[in-house]
Amino acid sequence: MSITFDPVQFKSTTLAQWEAAADAWHRWGPTIESWLGSATETMLDDAGVTTGSRVLDVAAGAGGQTLVAARRAGPTGKVLATDISPAILECARQAAQDAGLSNITTLVADGEDLSAVEEGGYDVAISRVGLIYFPDQQTALAEMCRALRPGGRISAVVYSTADRNAFFSIPVGIIRQRAELPPPAPGQPGPFSLGSPGVAEEVFAKAGLTDITVTTVPSPVRMQSAAECVQFERESFGALHQMLSGVDESEREDVWSEITEQLSQFEGPDGFEGPCEMLVVTGTR
């Protein structure tokens, strides 16, 4: 089956799904930070975020990593959190307010069009599990580079390969089969679009970045059960819902049941531990 990828439709659907999932993603915040905490710290380390840093956070979502960056930057630094979804960005704004962090501002913006962001005004640009979903990753990286001073750093957290991320790739595979979707073509957005060996380095190099490093960060998803993991994914993973739109509504419960059954292989005496491996890709403008 041949399906032509439509980046405009993809972006429109992505926006709608994040508007709908914003509250759930925010609610799962502590789980997300436990899962992605190590990758976040590595991203900020590799990017060199420190006291006084000016940080641009692209596709910031509910802002978990925004807060970590802001604490590092301190009162003499600043963090601008951008996202395409006003609803999820409001979660980030509220989280910053609740944390008493006055060095965070938010801006609704498409990561492929950061024209409202000051040119050369930032030391670092970060993106946690965001760059992989941009239809045009080169445009997104070019926009981040434009916002950076010369010598500024870009760092992104991305998934490695599907076989290293079974907690996510198993649901993706089951839904893809049920919806009769073909595998994504090279260059198309998706969770594993930058995971294969050499791909992220090539994408960063093509954007003109240098001193490129890739750091592997084991990031197992630990929960009480497979059912809880499925609830997490079902409530807050927009990519899965995007794929599920091609499955008849009457079949969707069966799909989630099959996913739960398959993920139960990762349950043990201490609960559920879903395999996940992140890569932190960093380069210098």
Cβ atoms 5, 222 nearer than 8 A:
no
CA dist 1 to 4, 7, 179, 180, 244, Å?
A: 10, 19, 11, 8, 17
Cβ atoms 244, 179 nearer than 8 A:
yes
Q: What is the pLDDT along the chain (285 residues), one digit of tens a residue?
A: 445 788 888 888 888 888 888 888 888 999 999 999 999 999 999 999 999 999 999 999 999 999 999 999 999 999 999 999 999 999 999 999 999 999 999 999 999 999 999 999 999 999 999 999 999 999 999 999 999 999 999 999 999 999 999 999 999 999 999 999 888 888 889 899 999 999 999 999 999 999 999 999 999 999 999 999 999 999 988 788 888 888 888 999 999 999 999 999 999 999 999 999 999 999 999
Cβ atoms 263, 229 nearer than 8 A:
yes
- pLDDT (0 to 100) of residue 3: 58
Task: Return d(Cα 217, Cα 36) in angstroms, integer.
Answer: 9
- pLDDT (0 to 100) of residue 1: 42
pTM of the entire structure?
A: 0.94
- Write a three-state SS string for 186-226: CCCCCCCCCCCCCHHHHHHHHCCCEEEEEEEEECCEEECCH
Q: Tokens 């899965």 map to which residue?
A: 240
Task: Return d(Cα 110, Cα 88) in angstroms, integer.
Answer: 13
H or E stretch including 80?
Answer: strand 78-83
Q: Where are the domains of the chain?
A: 7-165+185-222+273-284
Task: Return d(Cα 117, Cα 39) in angstroms, integer.
Answer: 26
The CATH class, in words, for 7-165+185-222+273-284 is alpha beta
- pLDDT (0 to 100) of residue 74: 98
What does the block give as tokens for 248? Answer: 């008849």
- pLDDT (0 to 100) of residue 185: 81
Task: Return d(Cα 280, Cα 204) in angstroms, integer.
Answer: 12
H or E stretch including 132?
Answer: none
Q: 267-272 long-range CB contacts below 8 Å, 24 or more apart? A: 267/225, 267/226, 271/222, 271/223, 271/224, 271/225, 272/221, 272/222, 272/223, 272/224, 272/225, 272/226, 272/228, 272/229
* SS3 label, residue 49: coil
Q: Tokens 């791909």 map to which residue?
A: 199
